[in-house]
Copies of this chain bind each other. A is one copy, B any other.
Amino acid sequence: MKRRGGLTVGEVAERSGIAVSAVHFYERKGLIASERNDANHRRYSPTVLRKIAIIQVAQRAGIPLREIADAMDFLPPEAKVTVKHWEMLSTRWTDELDDRIARLKRLRDGMAGCIGCGCLSMDTCKLVNPDDKIGANGSGPRYLEDDAPLADDPYRT
């Protein structure tokens, strides 16, 4: 019952470098699909290898499986994944990636800039409370009564 009708899970696992259980898992999550043979064994189209490669790249970019699934929903279930498809996915994800990189860079620079300072003020420290945080949500305490830098007053963080 080996060949005829596509790749077995074992083959897919070995070729793609992931565990059989992970292949099952991706299928449950709708990221990949298979047919069944007479023995109820999964048979995968070779396309699945390309899809798993895409999943792995996206995961390394920090995209959660749920989003990867959404993004990949328009990929053909059986037919070859084309360069066109990959182009759409990868441009989408490079943007995401650029964001993550930019955020980490700001954090790194903030850390470097704060090394000598060490104020870590909840209110005034750029590092602790980056631009995207203050004023970003509408309600709740804002600790704005006094925004003079108080690097050495422990009571103001």
Provide the residues of chain B in CB contact with A14, threshold 8 Å. Answer: 141
Q: Are B127 and A57 in contact (CB under 8 A)?
A: yes
Q: How far is the CA of A46 from the CA of B100 in the complex (A)?
A: 33
Q: Give the B-binding residues of A (Cβ under 8 A).
A: 14-17, 46-47, 49-50, 53-54, 56-57, 60-62, 80, 82-83, 85-87, 90-91, 93-94, 97-98, 100-101, 103-105, 107-108, 110-112, 114-118, 120-122, 125, 127-128, 141, 143, 154-155, 157
| Copy count, this protein chain | 2
Given the interface contacts A53-B120, A118-B82, A118-B87, does A101 sit within 8 Å of B98 by beta carbon?
no
Q: Are B108 and A98 in contact (CB under 8 A)?
A: yes
